[in-house]
Structure 1
Amino acid sequence: MYSAALMVFTLGFSYAAVPLYRAFCSATGFSGTPITDPERFAPSRLIPAYLDPSTNAPTKRIRVTFNADASDAIPWSFTPQQKEIYVLPGETALAFYTAKNKSDKDIIGIATYNVSPDRIAPYFAKVECFCFEEQKLLAGEEVDLPVFFFIDSDVLDDPSTKGVDDVVLSYTFFSARRNAKSGQLEPDTDLSKYTVGKDL
């Protein structure tokens, strides 16, 4: 009985490992994953920090640069509409990407994302993003994809992020496949081959 219970528990845990890992990364910013926890979006967090609390000097704006890639297996063009923007901690910002299906078939794509340097990820919060769900583009269709985000003003209190003036927000689109076991859509590739936004 104990052995059977242990086997059932191990099997169930192995199925739950990937969603639990994704939830952990989204809640903590681990491995450069931007925060998506809705509790971080309280109105008090969305106030620009014009003064650095440690020095009482004007806060320097952080440059956010946008990067876009598409897997070789998906016939899409995918580009940011703006190269960069400058934001204050606590200030919300809206950016857009453009995706176009260059094939003659409807295709569902999934975007993975990352922020570099890794140490800024716990403070990079996305309020709304096209990457939260799969995107279906009809044959030849072109769409604008928004991302609404802010950098939490708590970044000013963290000594490890004092020198961070530049942030890169990276997305990679993959064609989607349906997982045979769970039925959920997932990227149709080996994600271990893709590395973006890692601190050296």
Structure 2
Amino acid sequence: MTREEMYKAKNRTLAMYTSAVIIAAVGVTYAAVPLYRMFCAATGFAGTPKVGTGRFESSRLVPVDGAKRIKVHFNADKSGALPWTFTPQQKFVSVLPGESSLAFYSAKNTSDQDIIGIATYNVTPDRVAPYFSKVECFCFEEQKLLAGEEVDMPLLFFIDKDILDDPACRNVDDVVLSYTFFRARRNRQGHLEPDAPEDVVQQSLGFDKYEHGPKHEGTNESVENK
């Protein structure tokens, strides 16, 4: 093989490697949002409630007698582009670690068109997220409401009793569970996703930190100041 042929072979190999890297990078970009959500759901990172079958064993769903109750506040927000009303049916519930609790949100399509919405969520303070487990939830699921339709959406959850062994959570008395509904749109792969910039989606997944403690629904007042 001549020197010129060797250079051509090396250039072809380099071009193949470069193309492979570009294709892989594009694939990772398309998968970034679902992978991020899966990671958050599995680890409780960024204020995302943790999910997983191992956490739902009957031995863990037993209220811890003598433990202090934790007040869980419910927050509801929506995109301005979504012509719905979206509200929690209760402002808060007080639960013991290990105690399952049922809550409801209401959504109504106030437009004259059928619309699909998708809700994101997060928990504050972030250090509670690994212990906040949802058994039944409407988050990240397509919610299609017909024109003028109103629905109640259930949420079944519990705070894992392991929170009692975490020194960082020892003084936590209040938790806020926040949902944000967006109008659904189709991405380049044809999958439905929240119609919002990625930074907004990440913010609703846990980067919208409260500066002075969790806030009451519909107010700017912190829980810690009540």
- TM-score (structure 1 length as normaliser): 0.90
**Which 5+ residue runs of structure 2 have no aligned equivalent?**
1-15, 212-226
Aligned mates of 1:71, 1:132 — CA distance in 2: 15
- TM-score (structure 2 length as normaliser): 0.80
1:47-84, Cα deviation, whole Å (9 max, x unpaired):
1111xxxxxxx200000011111111111111111111
Aligned mates of 2:157, 2:36 — CA distance in 1: 22
Aligned mates of 1:128, 1:137 — CA distance in 2: 19
**Which 5+ residue runs of structure 1 have no aligned equivalent?**
51-57
Match of 2:197 among 186, 190, 196: 190
Is residue 106–residue 139 contact of structure 1 (8 Å, CA) maintained in 2? yes
Is residue 118–residue 199 contact of structure 1 (8 Å, CA) maintained in 2? no
Q: 1:189 to 1:153 in 2, by over 3 A?
A: same
What are the residue-to-residue correspondences of 1:43-82 with 2, within 5 Å?
43-50=58-65, 58-82=66-90
Indicate the structure (1 or 2) with the bigger Cα radius of gyration: 2
Work out which structure has the larger RCO, using CA pairs closer than 8 Å and 6 or more positions apart in sequence: 1
Match of 2:129 among 104, 113, 121: 121
User: In proportion to residue count, which structure has more helix?
Assistant: 2
SS in 2 for 1:154: helix
Query: Could you say which residue in structure 1 is the equivalent of 2:11?
Result: none
Percent identity between matched residues is 66
Aligned mates of 1:107, 1:4 — CA distance in 2: 40
Is residue 32–residue 198 contact of structure 1 (8 Å, CA) maintained in 2? no
User: In proportion to residue count, which structure has more strand?
Assistant: 1
Is residue 120–residue 140 contact of structure 2 (8 Å, CA) maintained in 1? no
Match of 1:41 among 53, 56, 61: 56
Aligned mates of 2:178, 2:105 — CA distance in 1: 11
Query: Could you say which residue in structure 2 is the equivalent of 1:152?
Result: 160
In the TM superposition, residue 199 of structure 1 has moved relative to its aligned partner by: 5.5
